[in-house]
Chains A and B, each alone.
Chain A
Amino acid sequence: MKTTDTATPGVETPGPSGGPGPAVAKTAAPTPPKESGKEGAVLNVFSHGVLVIWAIMVVMPLLWAVMTSFKTDRAIFTSPWSLPDGLHFENWSRAWSQAHMSDYFMNTIVVVGGSLIGTLLLGSMAAYVLARFDFPGNRFIYFLFIGGMSFPIILALVPLFYVMQNMALLNTPHGLILVYIAYSLPFTVFFLTAFFRTLPSSVAEAAFVDGASHTRTFFQVMLPMARPGLISVGIFNFLGQWNQYLLPTVLNTEQDEKVLSQGLVQLATSQGYKGDWSGLFAGLVMAMLPVLAAYIIFQRQVVAGLTAGAVK
């Protein structure tokens, strides 16, 4: 199983033009045919054509949302495609304060922060033991964790709701953190077990001979060595937990505790009588931009982290 170096070979340097428009113009221009013949040139124009169309289809809705967030409510309904008559930044401030976007952001940061740390800590502990130690039941526990990846979560959610209710964990940030960790463990354990198996055992043995305990060896020797794997799986979990919708929708329905995704949905449903659509779009864009910006900065690691699971 190779899990670490999956996506890197596919990443090529972006074209010098940086945009689809100029690239097409350049390549579609008639060039003196080489011995490769016409087939290549025709195909090249065709492939650029379809690729540009899909790129536009991906970017358009996002740009449209950004544009709409600066419009007045009236303009949104009367002329959805025209440019805003001015930059109505008050939509943004209204969304931030009156529509509780600031609270939703805060709640999400607390929950995702806590659960991300917990997931990485508990996940790496379990994965390390499962990858490095032989003991009766090792395989059974491993497959118990892995099995959780393919089961439909909604089935467990019905009883889980009442388990949480009985433990007074419903609608609390710490309850949500514990659930996020538990549901992130299958993939985390799967990924990190494979990763710990690839690390050389000589370093750990040397540390052990020098008198370090198992625990100390893990925290001071193995964890630092596992950093690339932890980053990949950390990004994967960060996005999954930040974007999580199903779990909070069922387990976290208190208005003050809502996280970003469900807060936005609630904002949208309440517009039926409030009518603050521009504020809703400002909220949507506000939630979209940080994740997109982070993705563009760290895109190599994000892609590696997200595709690592699918290629085994």
Chain B
Amino acid sequence: MQHGKYRFIVGFLAAPLALYALFVIWPFIQSIYYSLTDWSGLSPEFGFVGFDNYSRMLDDEIFWKSLQHSLTLAVVLPLVTVGLALFFAFMLNVGGRRRRGAAIAGVRGSGFYKIVYFFPQVLSIAIVALLFQFAYNPNSGAINSGLKLVGLGSIQPDWLGDPNLALICVMAVLVWSTVGFFVVLFSAGMASIPRDFYEAALLDGANRFTTFFKITLPLLWDTVQSGWIYMGILALGAESFAVVQIMTVGPNGGGPDYSTVVLPLYVYQKAFRDGQAAYATTIGVALLLVTLAFAAIVMKLGRRERLEF
């Protein structure tokens, strides 16, 4: 099969590789270079300034705020989302009434639940954010008027307008839109765990609570870990950008009083609102480091002996 092999390889790889190099690889390399310049993005001229942008970043209060918020998202979101999803998936697969001859059973209609839970996953995050922005509206939004309907009219929070609540509101939307995906993912993993494991454990007197921690979780560990990383990258990246930029107050989001600004949003604002392209790439490099560090830490903490079954 050597005949014309290299011509074929080059012919097939040229177009995808060229496109990828031009639109993905090259901008990444450029951005690291630009972070060492004073380029505004508005004019083609710029000079080399060394690490000035980086020292400026370390003194930038808003940078620290966005870093803090991004880290909060990266820690809290995977914890809540993966936790909830594991709980729901376990209920779906093991929470059912026992049928004759089976040690464990899924609940009735588990297929239906999985279809419904997955709904938000197929919607654009922009649509989800718009919907919840309206639900959070303090005067006529669905949540506050719902509270009035059930007689809790005295509790009327400002939601996105309250600096103490805004970031929590943002996180709730991200949890709402991602839990279903992980429920389906973990369910598939749980369904492939052999039933005899549960039977043996239940015979030995274990309750279902114990079986979750002693059987399900260890056997599902690899999936949980990649789900954790996936969710963390999502929390640090485009999804949190979209939700914060669309939902929160202030010019281009991030408010009130910078209480919801996150790193990707700050990059966007510096580059395309304030005309500070070089400084924006500096913050972007910080975001890249945070993302890589997050993945490395989860891999390190999550390392266990792989269980084969």
Residues on A close to B: CB < 8 A?
Answer: 6-15, 17-20, 23, 26-27, 31, 34, 36, 39-41, 43-44, 46-48, 50-51, 54-55, 57-59, 61-62, 64-65, 76-81, 122-123, 125-126, 128-130, 133, 135, 141, 144-145, 148, 150-163, 178-179, 181-183, 185-186, 189, 205, 208, 213-215, 218, 239, 242-246, 249-250, 260-262, 264-265, 268, 280, 284, 287-288, 291-292, 294-296, 299, 302-303, 306-307, 310-312
Contacts and interface: CB of A to CB of B under 8 A. Distances in A.
17 contacts: A7-B185, A7-B188, A48-B107, A81-B149, A123-B16, A135-B6, A155-B267, A158-B34, A179-B23, A182-B22, A214-B4, A215-B8, A239-B122, A243-B124, A261-B127, A262-B126, A287-B124
Given A122-B19, A156-B24, A213 B4 contact: yes
Contacts of B63: none
B192 A9 contact: yes
Contacts of A242: 124
A294 B127 CA distance: 17
Nearest to A262: B126
Interface in B28-72: 28, 30-31, 34, 41
- A contact patch SS: helix
Contact of A77 (B126, B140, B227): B140
Given A148-B20, A291-B123, A34 B41 contact: no
A123 to B, nearest CB: 7
B283 to A, nearest CB: 9
Q: Which 8 A-B pairs have the closest CB atoms?
A: A15-B109, A47-B95, A155-B284, A10-B188, A243-B124, A182-B23, A261-B126, A47-B91
| Size class of the B contact interface (CB-based, 8 Å) | 35 or more
Contacts of B13: 125-126, 129-130, 141
B236 A152 contact: yes
A257 B238 CA distance: 21
B197 interface: no
Interface string B97-132: 110000000111111111111111111111100111
A81 B111 CA distance: 30
Contact of A295 (B122, B132, B189, B284): B122
A188 to B, nearest CB: 9
Residue with the highest number of chain A CB atoms closer than 10 Å, among B6, B185, B190 = B185
Contacts of A126: 12-13, 16-17
Interface in B248-285: 264, 267-268, 271-272, 277, 280-281, 284-285
Contact of A76 (B107, B131, B140): B140
Interface in B122-179: 122-127, 130-133, 135, 139-142, 145-146, 149, 176, 179
Given A23-B109, A81-B145, A310 B41 contact: no
A61 B132 contact: yes
